[in-house]
Amino acid sequence: MLHDCTFFTRKEILQLHGRFHELAPHLVPLDYTNQPDIRLPLALIVSMPELKENPFRNRIVEVFSEDGQGNLSFNDFVDMFSALCETAPRELKTIYAFKIYDFNVDNFLCKEDLEKTLNRLTKGELTPEEVNLVCTKAMEEADLDGDSKLSFSDFENMISKAPDFLSTFHLRI
Amino acid sequence: KPEVLSPEELEKLKEEVDERKKLISTLRGKPWPMRKKLLTLRESHEFVEKYEGALGKGKSRKLYAYKVMMLKKWMKFQRDFENFKTACVPWEMKIKEIESHFGSSVASYFIFLRWMYGINMILFGLTFGLVMVPEALMGRPYGSMPRKTVPRADEANAMDFAVLWDFGGYAQYSVLFYGYYNSQRAIGWLKFRMPLSYFLVGVGTVAYSYMVVIRTMARNANEDGGGDNNSFNFSWKMFTSWDYLIGNPETADNKFASITTSFKEAILEEQESRKDDNIHLTRFLRVLANFLVLCCLAGSGYLIYFVVRRSQKFALEGLESHSWWERNEVNMVMSLLGMFCPMLFDVISALENYHPRIALQWQLGRIFALFLGNLYTFIIALMDEINLKVNLEEVLKLNMTIWEASLYNGTLGANSTAPPITVHPADIPRGPCWETMVGQEFVRLIVSDTMTTYITLLIGDFLRAVLVRFLNYCWCWDLEAGFPSYSEFDVSGNVLGLIFNQGMIWMGAFYAPCLPALNVLRLHVSMYLQCWAVMCCNVPQERVFKASGSNNFYMAMLLVILFLSTLPAIYTIVTIPPSFDCGPFSGKSRMFDVIQETLESDFPAWFGKVFSYASNPGLVLPFLLLMVLAIYYLQSTSKSYKQANLELKKKLQTVSRTINKVLTLIQYLLYSLCGTLSENLICTKLCDHTSPLPLSLSKKIEKRRVGNTEHIKERATIKFPLLPPAPRPRGATESLGPYQVTSGNQHPVFRGSQTPRDTEYDCCHRCGNGKHFIDRHRPP
């Protein structure tokens, strides 16, 4: 049933299960027919090689977890990789990208969200004035309705024109 | 499930079942949490199964059930086929590893290589299956005809490795080259039309290549959505610069550094004023640089011409009397030019002082011009040789009649027929087959190009890496950080090399059917060798500047090369008569006569008539004119659509701002006219944030209230005269009994803090609505 809900084939889902099991072999059972409710904590998931170097790894896992704290069940795990895989459509990726960059989970990308994103991207190498300038300019460019924060429609409008979005916002497993 | 349903209920039920089925098929694209998706899936499946059976009645029910079952089986088959197709894609793991180490731009080269490999496989399939195999299996065997036999004089060294490496000897007289093919109209028990097949395969390879390239360009253009909008510079840098595929710590560090650098550069550009000091000097330098480049290009063109002329002279004198260098001069010179001129262009471009992306585009354009110039000079020199050989043919034909007469030793009179003397085919003199010569030249060029590439790779990358790594221990300065250091993978140079290689294949495939096979082998080896070299000897690029926003830049180059490389082949097919004694078109006056012949003999008479009417210039010219007009029309409508798009965007911005203002006005009108109750109600109902999906109008009101208190204040004080009453003294807020409990409104309330605040009125922290405080404490 999982392969109707995701962009993976049956073989890929089995491979994913293998990876999930590797993360915590004593916790994750090999047999999923009884639908056990096992959740792995955030710290284990972000130790995966695909996510280890990503500056947004914590946010990604939090977005796909049901409790918002980063504890993923196997279904959520598959969902995460499916939404970020190559065959996922642009609209779906845009929705999840918006959720990931929304650090304070208020459904808007306000200036603090932008500043946090920028600091994670540059690892604090930019001076505060430069950070301010970049965030102001980015806000100016993308904010269509002038409320000094980006709603989903502003974000979507901006990302739909970006040539690199699909090729960079994609995890392969 | 009631057995009897009225027609309307049946219709409704059917609609619902269809809707559920649609939901199931689009479920994977919905942004819901997995639990919700699985639940919906289960429910919809149950619903569909339960009611599907009820929709058919009697006999038609059986048919309906049968249809549904066949549909399910078909979907399962499709899914299995998709699984199979993805499992068949080669080198997926290798590319993934490279991606995680070097990022997506280096990996895009390998994905391009793999795509080329696919195209060449198809071309190989066409030439091998429809040209080489039929002739090998059903045609006359080796040694039965003069064109299929090594001449007696060359027999002694026909098997030598040196001769075979040069594609002479047995390699020349085989299915690999044009000259081997017989011109018999139908061969074997299948009556396979060999000459027709040869011609059509030649045309088919070009047509297929055009189709694939244009289809890929169209697909890329669609994905872009018209990506020529530069107005989101900073936003894109912020949200699309991190490459999620990176899994390697070193690469990640490099990426962080490059992102920081790119932001700093963008900030600098933004802050700097647009003053161009010394614009005249810059312009003069740029003109000088272009002049130097033109000199280089002219110089290299002349060099190639000179070398080809010299090699023709050597050939006339006999190749054995010259050294290896002199024999392979042409290929070596072309490869060396291809290696050193780009470096020269790089140095010259330091004069120009362009933005790195523009400099990269100029560099690529110049290298493109260099390769093109070299290739065309080579072809012109080749044309000279062809003409020479064609003229030689006349002389040889004369010699042959003399030789035949000498066979009979003058024992016969002029008009008598005699039993033909059997002569071994190896002894019969044969004409200078120019087509095989052309094929051989191309094959040699490609082999030497391949060798040069691999040797440059091994020396330039591998040897350099080994030296830097091991000499570093005993060298005065840090080799790894300083001068030589490890090499970076040059994406654009490699892509250009690949494109030109393919151009040469397209040019020569008509005269040497073995070329696609050779190319498949070459690409296969390249893939493994370059994957190994990249992982072993290269470091990730420090600054990633793509030549363009989309992949269409390289596709466009490929299209241009395709066009330019098919031109010479078409020219030779149409103007030069084929050799009289070799190849599948021998004996005809022009190669395309084979089409005429087929139409006359294999098709009914009326077909030939129709075809002759259709190819009448009176019909073809108006048709061409119509196509040109259609292109012009489509071009102008596309321009007007782009214009309309821009204007709509501007309108969208103005309208959004107007709506914003109107809604804030409504908000304050409501506040000042309605009472406490209605405001509270509005606040609780609207302060409920759940989904990130595009907001409808009612929720837009909520949007206005949420967020920065300063923002609301600004609008209130500047725009609207209907201000709320003056704020009451600080002390009153602290004794807000009811407001300590958050029961009424579901959000935490910002209690008046000890620090002095500069807002005019206390606001609800969650929704920015100032009403709850103020209305409770209306000033007297």
- Tens-digit pLDDT profile for residues B332-384: 888 788 878 888 888 888 888 777 667 777 888 888 888 888 888 888 878 88
Whether B410 has a pLDDT exceeding 80, the answer reads no
User: Do strands A39-40 and A72-73 pair parallel, antiparallel, or not at all (unpaired)?
Assistant: antiparallel
Q: Where are the alpha helices (DSSP H) in B225-248?
A: 233-240
* Cβ atoms B563, B209 nearer than 8 A: no
User: Which pLDDT does position B391 carry in this prediction?
Assistant: 86
Between the alpha carbon of residue B582 and those of residues B99, B146, B151, the distances in Å are 50, 9, 14
Q: What is the pLDDT of residues B555-597, one digit of tens each?
A: 888 999 999 988 988 888 888 888 888 888 888 888 888 888 8
Give the residue carrying structure tokens 């992949």: B551
Q: Across chain A, what does the average pLDDT equal?
A: 87
Question: How many residue pairs bridge chain A and chain B with CB atoms within 8 Å of each other?
Answer: 201
Q: Which residues on neighbouring strands pair with residue A109, listed in sequence order?
A: A150
Query: Do residues B676 and B664 share a domain?
Result: no
Closest-approach residue (CA) in chain B for A47: B247
Which of A55, A102, A162 is nearest residue B232 as measured by Cβ atoms? A162
pLDDT of residue B414: 52
Residue of A nearest to B75 (CA): A4
Structural domain includes residue B421: no
pLDDT of res. B723 = 36
Q: Are B726 and B779 in contact (CB under 8 A)?
A: yes
Per-residue pLDDT at B189 exceeds 60: yes
- pLDDT tens digits for range B96-131: 788 777 777 788 889 889 999 999 999 999 999 999
- Check B656 against A144: CB less than 8 A apart: yes
Contacts of B667 in chain A (CB under 8 A): none
Mark which residues 80-119 of A lie under 8 Å from B by CB: 82-84, 88-89, 91-92, 95-99, 101-102, 106-108, 110, 114, 117-118
Q: For residue B236, tell me if it sits in a domain.
A: no
What's the pLDDT band for B735 if we cut at 50, 70, 90?
very low
Is residue B763 situated within a structural domain? yes
Section B599-625 average pLDDT: 85
Q: Which residues of A touch B247 (CB under 8 A)?
A: 49-50, 52-53
At residue B440, φ and ψ (nearest 5 deg) are: -65, -40
Same domain, B501 and B539: yes
Closest CA in chain B for residue A160: B225
Residues of chain B contacting A163 with CB distance shorter than 8 Å? 224, 227, 549-550
Asked whether residue B477 is assigned to any structural domain, the reply reads yes
Predicted local distance difference test score (pLDDT) of residue B208: 95
Percent of chain B whose predicted confidence (pLDDT) is above 90: 13
Inter-chain CB proximity A83 and B31 less than 8 Å: yes
Instruction: Tell me the pLDDT tens digit for each residue of B1-51.
Output: 455 667 888 888 888 888 888 888 888 888 888 888 888 888 888 888 887
Question: Are residue B173 and residue B291 in the same domain, yes or no?
Answer: yes
Boundary (domain end) residue, out of B584, B603, B624: B584
Residues 14-53 of A with CB under 8 A from B: 49-50, 52-53
In a domain, B635, yes or no: yes
Measured at the CA of B618, the angle between CA B614 and CA B622, to 5 degrees, comes to 95
Q: Pick the residue of B26, B232, B235 with the most A CBs within 10 A to test the interface with A by mutation.
A: B235
Q: How confident is the model at residue B212 (pLDDT cuts 50, 70, 90)?
A: very high
Same domain as B644, residue B564: no
Positive or negative CA dihedral for B79, B81, B86, B87? positive
Question: Which residues form the domain of B652?
Answer: 616-670
Mean pLDDT across chain B, nearest whole number? 77
Q: What are phi and psi of A50, to 5 degrees?
A: -70, -25
CB contact under 8 A, B28 and A6: yes
Q: How far apart are CA B598 and CA B602, in angstroms?
A: 5
DSSP per position, B130-187: IIIHHHHHHSPPTTSSGGGS--GGGGGGTT-HHHHHTT-HHHHTSTTSGGG----SSB
| Among candidate residues B40, B69, B88, the one where a domain is terminated | B88
B49: chain A residues, CB-CB within 8 Å: none
Whether B550 and B442 map to the same domain: the answer is yes
Instruction: Report, as an integer, the average pLDDT of B478-485.
Output: 75
Max distance between CA atoms of chain B, in angstroms, equals 143
Residue B167 shares a structural domain with residue B145:
yes
Which of B605, B639, B670 finishes a domain? Answer: B670
Closest chain B residue to A48, measured at CA: B247
pLDDT in tens, B73-83: 888 888 788 87
- The structural domain count of chain B equals 4
Indicate which of B41, B239, B708 best probes the interface with A, i.e. most A CBs within 10 Å of its own CB.
Answer: B239
Strand partners, B488: B539
Confidence of residue B680 (pLDDT cuts 50, 70, 90): low
pLDDT given at position B229 = 53
- Based on the fold, state whether residues B666 and B676 are members of the same structural domain: no
pLDDT at B759 over 50: no
Q: Are residues B124 and B76 in the same domain?
A: no
pLDDT surpassing 60 at residue A84: yes
Q: Determine whether B743 is exposed, middle or buried from the number of CB atoms within 10 Å of its CB (0-12, 13-18, 19+).
A: exposed
For residues B644 and B8, the model is more confident at B644
- For residue B305, the model assigns a pLDDT of 83
List alpha helices for chain A, DSSP H.
2-5, 10-23, 42-45, 49-52, 57-64, 74-83, 90-101, 111-122, 128-142, 152-160, 165-168
**ipTM value:** 0.91
The answer, yes or no, to whether residue B732 has pLDDT greater than 60, is no
Residues B444, B338 share a domain: yes
Any domain includes B442: yes
Taking only the tens place, the pLDDT of each residue in A87-128 is 888 899 999 999 999 998 888 889 999 999 999 988 888 889
The answer to the question of residue B145 being in a domain is yes
Q: How confident is residue B689, by pLDDT bands cut at 50, 70 and 90?
A: very low
**Amino acid A99: pLDDT:** 92
Whether B322 has a pLDDT exceeding 80, the answer reads: no
- B209 pLDDT above the threshold of 90: yes
Q: Which residue of B has its CA nearest to A106?
A: B689
Decide which of B194 and B270 is more confident.
B194
Specify the higher pLDDT residue, B140 or B686: B140
Q: How confident is the model at residue B416 (pLDDT cuts 50, 70, 90)?
A: low
pLDDT at B423: 75
pLDDT band at B527 (very low <50, low <70, confident <90, very high): very high
Tokens linked to B443: 């094959």
Closest chain B C-alpha to A68 CA, distance in angstroms: 11
Give the pLDDT band of residue B329 (cuts 50, 70, 90). Answer: confident
Whole-number pLDDT of residue B593: 86
Residue B575 CA: distances (Å) to CA of B386, B568, B571 = 12, 11, 6
Q: Do B752 and B637 lie in a common domain?
A: no
Q: Does the pLDDT of residue A76 top 50, yes or no? A: yes
Residues of B in contact with A75 (CB under 8 A): 34-35, 38
User: At residue B263, does pLDDT exceed 80?
Assistant: yes
Between residues B727 and B630, which one has the greater pLDDT?
Answer: B630
Nearest-Cα distance to chain A for B767, in Å, is 11
**Looking at the complex, does the CB of residue A131 fall below 8 Å from at least one CB of chain B?**
no
Both B115 and B71 in one domain: the answer is: no
The pLDDT of residue A59: 92
**Separation of first and last alpha carbons in chain B:** 69
Residue B543 has pLDDT above 70, yes or no: no
Asked if B23 and B100 sit in the same domain, the reply is: no
In a domain, B238, yes or no: no
